[in-house]
Structure 1
Amino acid sequence: MKIRNTRENHNILLLAIFAILTLLVLLIRFGELTIAKQSNGVDLVSYDQTHDQNRSSITNAKRGTIFDSSGQPIALDATSYSIYAVLRSSWSDNVVEDVDKTAEALAKHLDLSRDEILDILLNFEASQVEFGTAGINLSPQTKEAIEAENLPGIILVSSTHRQYINDVFASHLIGYAIPSLEANDSQATILEGQIGIEAAYDERLSGEAIYSQQEAEGIYSDSLLGEDIYLTLEGRIQNYLEDLMDQVYNRYLPKELNAYLVELDTGKLLAASQRPTFQLSTREGIETEWRNFIVQESDEPGSTIKILTLAMAKELDLYDDNETFKSGSVEVYDQTVRDYNLYGWGDITFQEGLVHSSNVGMVYLVQRIGLERWVEILEDFGFGQSTESNLPNESSGYLQFDNPVSIMMSGFGQSFSATPMQLMQAYTTIGNEGEMLKIQYLDHIGDRNDSSYEVQSLGQKISPETARYILDSMVLTVEHPEGTARPFYNNDVRIAAKTGTAEIADAENGGYLTGPNDFYHSVVAFYPAEDPQYMVYLSMQQPSQSYGLNGSQILAQIFHPLVEYSLINQ
């Protein structure tokens, strides 16, 4: 029994020593945390300042403004105010005191009558009330006028929203920004880009790029200040183009309609429009079409591609100018390729083949180029790969061939697909003395006078002589009495143009759609043809109404006014 007591006393002593040591460690740790403000050698004050920064600490957020090429704003932050009334409060004396006086005063500034406001204020169940749509999106002037009334219990709250100067202005390219759900703990309204340029450059516009860089350098701020963006879009031309697009879209009701204007010696995108479109401020119509067609819509290009086919065959010296071929049809393995009029134009030169848009002539040229080499040429022109536009969800198009027939058909624009951006970049080769330029919509980021725009060459694809030859051939396509681009003839300026009428693939049943309007109509044009300054690319898919006109005649209703307006406003 004595031995047992000794052991128990020994165990109790060990537990007591352990408890004392544990308490001592805790006391030292407590002192380190609360008095010295350190942990494991780290200054907790500094740590809190440097590592606990989050969106809830942002008290000021201003998104950068998007400007057009002349410095006019397209999208900018705007502050508006909403109003509510505190009727009862257990923690504040700032409540409505005289409902009659308050209703009479607010009726002067809100789109509500005195009696309507009085009904809202006489709510005996609510502690605070709002005033519906009449009490939101109030201007700073209205806010100041209400504050001047000195009404107890009337509270005005500010909020930031994105203001777009024009209802429709290259809407899918510009995109839109809305309050970020991830930043709802912030004291400031932080806007987040959703599509288009607003999304592509969200880090720069929101200020996140600068904020993160400063944070990495140990600089911390409660402000999120975005950078301004200057685009290449020319505001007057853009607005004029939108009006033209509305007229044609509303009259002919196509499934899709696109129009783009490019400055040839710089690659600057001066105007871009598509239908369907949406209202920038209200986003009305966005549910109809979310895609930004210039980089997200990939279609078979049709006969506009023939200018590249003829150009490469000429560059490689694969035919003589006076050499002829028999048009109408040609056997390609187990298939027959026909010209669009089925019987052709007899024996014609290859240049005349472009004028008449002969599929047969292009098959002969691709055969001479060689199938493998022709595919390499298409790749060299950027097809089947991203243009690196930086715009969201860009399509690379489709450039994969299952058989040699498909490769030969690609020479007249079938069996592969491309976006408008890919096509325009490739076609700059013809209008820019053989040099292919990158199409750019961004001029610079930063101050207005700090432009850092640089022309980006994508390589010399053909000689200036070959480019001139193709331009002259395209002029013939416009000016020849039987030229397929005849609707684009202009009395005031010489036009070089090539049209396209592509069949539309039947996604459900395979093959192509067979309806009378199931075509993709397009045109690429350069002007003035003697020394091209501009390139226009227009396309239209499946017009519901034609009123007896063909696709080129409909697109010409956009083309001619746009040409004249761009030359007047250059």
Structure 2
Amino acid sequence: MKKSMKKRMSKDFKAINTHNIPKFTLLIYIILGVFFGFIILNFINLMIFKSIDDSDLQKLGEEKFTRSITLDSNRGQILDRHGEILASDMEAYRIAVIVDENYPNHLTDKKKMSKELSKVMSMSEKEITKMIDEGIKNDRFQVEFGTKGRNVSYKNRKQLESKELDGLTFIPEIKRFYPNGVFASHIIGFSEPNEDGRLVGSLGIEREYNEALDGEPGYSNYTQDIWSYVVPGTLETESAVDGMDVELTLDSNIQLYLEESLDEMQEYFEPEELFAFVADAKTGEILGAGQRPSFNPDTREGFGNSWLNVLYEYQFEPGSTFKVFGLAAAIEEGQYNPNQYYESGSRDVMDTTIYDWETEGWGTITYNEGMQYSSNTLMMDLQDRVGADKMLDYYKKFGFGETTESEFSTEAKGQIVWENELQQKTSSFGQTLSVTPIQMIQGMTALLNEGMMKKPYIVKSVTDPNTNKTVYEGKETNVRQVISKEAAEKTVDEMNTLVAGSMDRNSMYALDDYGVTGKSGTAQIYDPEIGGYISEPYQFITSFIGYAPKEDPRVIVYYGIKRASKNKSDTWDYGVSLGFNPLMERTLKYLEVTDSTEGSDAEEVKVEDYTGKKIERVANLTNDSLNVIYSGEGDTIKDHYPKNATLLKNETIYVKTDGELTMPDMRGLSKREVITLLDFLGIKASLKGEGYVKSQSIAPNTVLGKKSSLTIQLDSNDPNN
């Protein structure tokens, strides 16, 4: 049976294999074989080479599912010497209006849009409508409004959003914020977004310290799945590193006085140029710096009027202010006797007659009288006595002809022209050669610091906010000993006669409360177009470099004006005193500088320890010899400051009595006085602004509770004036 079955199956199998297969079936087999063979070959290729048709699949996968996000860093702040913000980052917005009707949120009410946008942008409704119409005509998706549609504040954004304007959108961006407007603008500078949207310094400290301010952006890399979830284990993050903070030596209050002074001088004279600089006479720190024309880095108003940083880059012939350095050289060489006589008027040099500003001269006068008159012939005589080559060496020792190696890479070095006798002689009174204001200030520090020249500086510190570590600290630096201590003292003695001295010259610079002196200058201006000096009346650079107090100089102010177009004759009659005087006086009072000459004659008040005594029994508190600030309801002295000290008449003493602590009247006190008083009383307060107390949130004589909240508003104007 089994054998028969096996034989039968064998026959059937042979019958099948010998049966003819249809052609189309064979074709299907062939196609399927080729297809599967292709798949197998590509699979092998994929496993080995990971690519198909020269495409890297791994790369394609990474591009599709790998994400990388840049984490922006904050640009460092620029601060004044007290930590007040001069430049910082803030979020702003750029306005765009979507006009594509295929987009769900598109413009529907053009008139309403134009009306509302005109309220926050410097554009009229008509201008806005025109730009929108152009966008629609050119089939744009959205319309933007250039610089006028940028830097929109958060407040204005909320205002516009409340109007529910279809099609309005806000694009966030980082804006550099300059809260003070025209305020040491050429020193601070400005920064602008580059093509990648990062802020880059374009001028001033913003540019010079761009690398430190910039910081480093971070990143976040990860892989996501097809549902956009982060694949576990793929997240890689590097935090952004914020830029460093740069603190300047500028004092915002002094800078405010300076800017106000320049504004007043600009309005009165309408000159071609103005400048004013304030420096610490002891250390060389720049406390204030300003110029006109200037610009507002926040609004861009005034951009392009002048990019020149006058303090460091302006090269000009200084005129008679330069004479003090020739005077110092002559004194050092023993060639200046204030009582020696000479003939004033004129001198012939290389076929050229050089005159004093008073062409007839003043006859035979003493050297000191010649200095007070600012005699050109005196300076030429002194150069002859010292020797031209030796005088040139002194000019170089004072730093002229070279930079001060400041924080600004664009600093100019001026030029000493010394090829012939005529150039040498005219240089003696500040013509022919060129200087920069920072060189003049540096040279003056040598005269005021016993012959030791101080390097001016404007960067106080650079701090890393990520670690709170100071990576750079500006400090007082001695450049070199230019002249001896004895020669410097004699030079200062001579300079102290130049304002309201025996000849009563330059008395317009005298102040009531401080002894001020310095050197004035009226420099001719060279015009390359005419190949000579401008000869029109009053077309000069008029300047004054002065210091105060005379006996113990604390502050240097250098003030200058070029080519006034209004009230021209006043630059000859009054110089720059209309700007110099209030700036110097306000600065000295703000710094609470006491004039030693005034103090030597002033009445002294000896303060003992009055603790436990009745107020009525202490004469110094009741006879108006001191300015007394009281706190307390009682009449018995519980504490006072200072104790066991000597004060000058009308100086301030703080007294705490028994009974409930009361709020003293602080109006008119300076910021420093307020800080001292609050510390003495143990009161915490929020101080807003700089200068002098304008108002206080708690009225005087109010009993202070434990939770009293005190806010004190200060203002730059001295209410005691």
Instruction: Provide the residue aligned with 2:311 in structure 1.
Output: 294
Is 1:67 the counterpart of 2:88 in the alignment?
A: no
User: Per the alignment, do residues 95 and 393 of structure 1 end up closer, same or farther by CA in structure 2, a change over 3 Å counting?
Assistant: same
Tell me how far apart the structure 1 counterparts of residues 403 and 584 of structure 2 sit (CA, whole Å): 29
Residues 212-239 of structure 1, C-alpha deviations (whole Å, 9 max, x = no match): xxxxxxx995746321111111101111
Is 1:271 the counterpart of 2:288 in the alignment?
A: yes
Instruction: Provide TM-score, normalisation by structure 1.
Output: 0.79
> Contact (CA 8 Å) 1:110, 1:135: kept in 2 or not?
no
Written as runs of structure 1 = structure 2, the 5 A alignment for 1:164-563 is 164-180=178-194, 184=195, 186=196, 189-207=197-215, 221=238, 223=240, 225-446=242-463, 450=470, 452-480=473-501, 482-546=503-567, 548-551=569-572, 553-563=574-584
Tell me how far apart the structure 2 counterparts of residues 500 and 290 of structure 1 sit (CA, whole Å): 25
Tell me how far apart the structure 2 counterparts of residues 329 and 145 of structure 1 sit (CA, whole Å): 72
Structure 2 SS opposite 1:516: coil
Q: Which 10-residue stretch deviates more, 346-355 or 327-336?
A: 327-336
Structure 1 SS opposite 2:89: strand
Instruction: Provide the residue aligned with 1:566 in structure 2.
Output: 587
Letter in 1 for 2:333: L
Instruction: Provide the residue aligned with 2:622 in structure 1.
Output: none
Instruction: Provide the residue aligned with 2:177 in structure 1.
Output: 163
Structure 1 SS opposite 2:574: helix
Residues 474-497 of structure 1, C-alpha deviations (whole Å, 9 max, x = no match): 221102253542221122111121
Q: Which 10-residue stretch deviates more, 468-477 or 221-230?
A: 221-230
Structure 1 SS opposite 2:496: helix
User: Per the alignment, do residues 469 and 36 of structure 1 end up closer, same or farther by CA in structure 2, a change over 3 Å counting?
Assistant: same
Letter in 2 for 1:446: T
Q: CA deviation at 1:61?
A: 3.5
Tell me how far apart the structure 2 counterparts of residues 127 and 383 of structure 1 sit (CA, whole Å): 60
User: Per the alignment, do residues 484 and 507 of structure 1 end up closer, same or farther by CA in structure 2, a change over 3 Å counting?
Assistant: farther
> Contact (CA 8 Å) 2:275, 2:290: kept in 1 or not?
yes
Residues 54-111 of structure 1, C-alpha deviations (whole Å, 9 max, x = no match): xx97441421111111111111111112344556588xxx7228958x9999999994
Q: CA deviation at 1:436?
A: 0.8
User: Per the alignment, do residues 294 and 282 of structure 1 end up closer, same or farther by CA in structure 2, a change over 3 Å counting?
Assistant: same
Instruction: Provide the residue aligned with 1:10 in structure 2.
Output: none
> Contact (CA 8 Å) 2:107, 2:167: kept in 1 or not?
no
Structure 2 SS opposite 1:477: coil
Q: CA deviation at 1:29?
A: 11
Q: CA deviation at 1:394?
A: 2.2
Q: Which 10-residue stretch deviates more, 549-558 or 190-199?
A: 549-558
User: Per the alignment, do residues 108 and 259 of structure 1 end up closer, same or farther by CA in structure 2, a change over 3 Å counting?
Assistant: closer
Tell me how far apart the structure 1 counterparts of residues 356 and 160 of structure 2 sit (CA, whole Å): 73
> Contact (CA 8 Å) 1:85, 1:96: kept in 2 or not?
no
> Contact (CA 8 Å) 1:357, 1:484: kept in 2 or not?
no
Written as runs of structure 1 = structure 2, the 5 A alignment for 1:18-37 is none
Instruction: Provide the residue aligned with 2:660 in structure 1.
Output: none
Structure 1 SS opposite 2:533: coil
Q: Which has the higher helix share?
A: 1
Tell me how far apart the structure 2 counterparts of residues 153 and 337 of structure 1 sit (CA, whole Å): 75
Letter in 1 for 2:210: D
> Contact (CA 8 Å) 2:98, 2:107: kept in 1 or not?
no
Written as runs of structure 1 = structure 2, the 5 A alignment for 1:91-170 is 95-96=104-105, 111=119, 126=139, 128-130=141-143, 132=145, 136-141=150-155, 143=157, 155-170=169-184
Tell me how far apart the structure 1 counterparts of residues 136 and 188 of structure 2 sit (CA, whole Å): 44
Instruction: Provide TM-score, normalisation by structure 2.
Output: 0.63
> Contact (CA 8 Å) 2:417, 2:423: kept in 1 or not?
no
Q: CA deviation at 1:551?
A: 3.7
Tell me how far apart the structure 1 counterparts of residues 533 and 324 of structure 2 sit (CA, whole Å): 24
Tell me how far apart the structure 2 counterparts of residues 510 and 142 of structure 1 sit (CA, whole Å): 55
Q: CA deviation at 1:330?
A: 2.6
Q: CA deviation at 1:554?
A: 4.2
Tell me how far apart the structure 1 counterparts of residues 237 and 483 of structure 2 sit (CA, whole Å): 53
Q: CA deviation at 1:370?
A: 1.3
Letter in 2 for 1:96: N
User: Per the alignment, do residues 199 and 105 of structure 1 end up closer, same or farther by CA in structure 2, a change over 3 Å counting?
Assistant: closer
Letter in 1 for 2:542: H
Instruction: Provide the residue aligned with 1:15 in structure 2.
Output: none
RMSD: 3.8
Instruction: Provide the residue aligned with 1:79 in structure 2.
Output: 91
Q: CA deviation at 1:331?
A: 3.1
Tell me how far apart the structure 1 counterparts of residues 265 and 97 of structure 2 sit (CA, whole Å): 50
Residues 293-352 of structure 1, C-alpha deviations (whole Å, 9 max, x = no match): 112211111111111111111111124343221222233343333211122222223222
Figure out how many residues of one structure are paired with residues of the other and give that number.
509
Tell me how far apart the structure 2 counterparts of residues 390 and 350 of structure 1 sit (CA, whole Å): 40
Q: Using CA pairs below 8 Å that are at least 6 residues apart, which structure has the higher relative contact order?
A: 1
Letter in 2 for 1:463: S
Tell me how far apart the structure 2 counterparts of residues 464 and 565 of structure 1 sit (CA, whole Å): 30
Q: CA deviation at 1:130?
A: 4.3
User: Per the alignment, do residues 483 and 542 of structure 1 end up closer, same or farther by CA in structure 2, a change over 3 Å counting?
Assistant: farther
> Contact (CA 8 Å) 2:538, 2:568: kept in 1 or not?
no
Q: CA deviation at 1:465?
A: 2.5
Tell me how far apart the structure 2 counterparts of residues 109 and 538 of structure 1 sit (CA, whole Å): 44
User: Per the alignment, do residues 284 and 86 of structure 1 end up closer, same or farther by CA in structure 2, a change over 3 Å counting?
Assistant: closer
User: Per the alignment, do residues 136 and 464 of structure 1 end up closer, same or farther by CA in structure 2, a change over 3 Å counting?
Assistant: same
Structure 2 SS opposite 1:557: helix
Letter in 2 for 1:348: I
Q: CA deviation at 1:390?
A: 3.2
> Contact (CA 8 Å) 1:521, 1:552: kept in 2 or not?
no
State percent identity of aligned pairs.
Answer: 32
Structure 2 SS opposite 1:325: strand
Letter in 1 for 2:485: P
> Contact (CA 8 Å) 1:60, 1:222: kept in 2 or not?
no
Letter in 2 for 1:533: R
Q: CA deviation at 1:502?
A: 1.2
Q: CA deviation at 1:466?
A: 2.1
User: Per the alignment, do residues 543 and 140 of structure 1 end up closer, same or farther by CA in structure 2, a change over 3 Å counting?
Assistant: closer
Q: CA deviation at 1:405?
A: 2.3
Q: Which 10-residue stretch deviates more, 469-478 or 240-249?
A: 469-478
Q: Which 10-residue stretch deviates more, 533-542 or 371-380?
A: 371-380
Letter in 2 for 1:173: I
Tell me how far apart the structure 2 counterparts of residues 106 and 544 of structure 1 sit (CA, whole Å): 43
Tell me how far apart the structure 2 counterparts of residues 278 and 35 of structure 1 sit (CA, whole Å): 56
Letter in 2 for 1:190: R
